[in-house]
Amino acid sequence: MMYELAHYINGRLIQSKTRKLDLHNPATGELIGQLAVADLSVVNQAMQAAQDAFLTWSQTTSAKRSAILFRYKSLLDQHKESLAKLVTQEHGKTLAEAMGSIQRGIDVVDFACGLPSHLKGSYANLVGTGVDSYSLRQPLGVCAGITPFNFPAMIPLWMFPMAIACGNTFVLKPSEKDPSCSMRLLELIKEAGLPDGVVNIVHGDKETVDALITHPQLKAVSFVGSSAVAEHVYKTAINHGKRAQAFGGAKNHCVVMPDADLDQAADALVTAGYDCAGERCMAISVVLAVGDKVADALIEKMRPRITALKIGPGTMQGVQMGPLISAQHLAKVKSYLEMGKQEGAKLIIDGSDDKPADNSNGFFMGPCLFDHVTANMRIYREEIFGPVLSIVRVADFDSALALVNEHEYGNGTAIFTRDGYMAHTFMEKVQVGMVGINVPVPVPVAHHSFGGWKRSIFSDIGMYGDESIRFYTKLKTVTQRWMPGGEKWM
């Protein structure tokens, strides 16, 4: 049955008679819903609601804000399965993947519950004669989040709980491809007791994004998406006087050394390369095999693991890889396979035509593996964002390290080795924001912070953890002296 999503402003659903965008179930190709694009008038309503709510919310005690978030976390735990079904319906990832991503979002909500202890500031007594000094962090005002299609629950939960815990209000623009889970997230936080207007949702595309990031009432914006759009959002926002953090694309390398446990590495690479159908910015997409012997042995171990992956609708039991998000994205990913072959790479596993036998209309493809990829090829340089893994054969550790450091992206990387000195050297010298040692997808836990380097981020502040506190607050430092005077009462 078709459904239509409204905007969520000041605790109410707001319809708008503007152009519509279609929603599809990627596992079937079926048109399942529509959403209206928020034009400037709708964005104005959302921003005004957030601005009005800020006057009270920013003065609400941190203990009361924390109590609402604790209730919210409990509700998220209770509704995890139904949230996962919404993610799978519109995104396509398996229910297990959806559940895992929601849990990573809940972990950040859990951290946000404890923010009062992080917002307490500092105090210095007698910095001068009769003079004390103290610092505190205060909220910014109205903030916005623009989130991607690949994690429709996790990334919103990385943003707005941290923002509101710090005393800000928020306007969320979820992906226009899978927005239903974000709507449900706001229904649950309203149930937890969040006052109306503190968090709002507007739907749309570039028109809506540009209206948000240039809006005079906006103080800060957080974005996750491709590097080209991230750069646009970042530059436009800061040129309009906003604080901005924009997370872009990735080309994550994994170095496999000759002393590595190749069974462990093969298991990890198959998971890191093909989970979520490769549609994640922390996916491993390049394997730097040190030496032909390592490359050949690794391929031999990976091949049966890759070909055994079960492809199908994310709701089907035992499925390990769901569809891609859209027909357009599927065509784009497949175009890289032809490009790689033309560039001289060897496509040793071609899953481009793999799909469930009883489902010909879904946006499916199977896992693909290239060998003999070189650094001058577009399939090496560009983010494919699909289930395509490339093996680059390198002579030694220094050559591998140089390739990682020379790439324009610097989101995540990993090394598999038993040599502690080599692992430490890699960690110290690699020019990448998140590093895994015998861990293929080094996404930080909630009390650390997420963030890459180079063209993977346009900002110097990461997401969640202590970095989010820096992003969503401004520092105020007070120096005070009290002089004796007035009527003496004793």
Rounding to the nearest 10 degrees, give the CA dihedral for residues 338, 342, 344, 345: -10
Q: Which of 166, 254, 276, 281 is catalytic?
A: 281
Where helices occur in 114-200 by DSSP H, the ranges are 154-165, 180-191
Confirm whether 368 is a catalytic residue. Answer: no
What gap in Å lies between CA 132 and CA 220, rounded to an integer?
A: 32
What gap in Å lies between CA 38 and CA 208, rounded to an integer?
A: 6
Which residues make Cβ contacts (< 8 Å) with residue 484, sequence separation at least 6?
none
Phi/psi region, residue 486 (left: phi>0; alpha: psi -120 to 50; beta: rest), is left
What gap in Å lies between CA 138 and CA 123, rounded to an integer?
A: 15
CB 172 within 8 A of CB 159: yes
Which of 219, 280, 306, 252 minimizes the C-alpha distance to 434?
A: 252
Question: What is the DSSP code (8-state) at residue 278?
Answer: G
| Helix, strand or coil, per DSSP, at residue 56 | helix
Which of 190, 21, 171 minimizes the C-alpha distance to 90?
A: 21
What gap in Å lies between CA 449 and CA 445, rounded to an integer?
A: 7
Residue with tokens 């105090």: 123
Q: What are phi and psi of 332, to 5 degrees?
A: -65, -45
The residue count for the chain: 490
Which residues make Cβ contacts (< 8 Å) with residue 369, sequence separation at least 6?
299, 302, 303, 306, 347, 348, 349, 388, 389, 390, 391
Neighbours of 441 (CB within 10 A): 19
Token duo for residue 163: 């923002």
Report, as residue numbers or ranges, the catalytic residues: 281
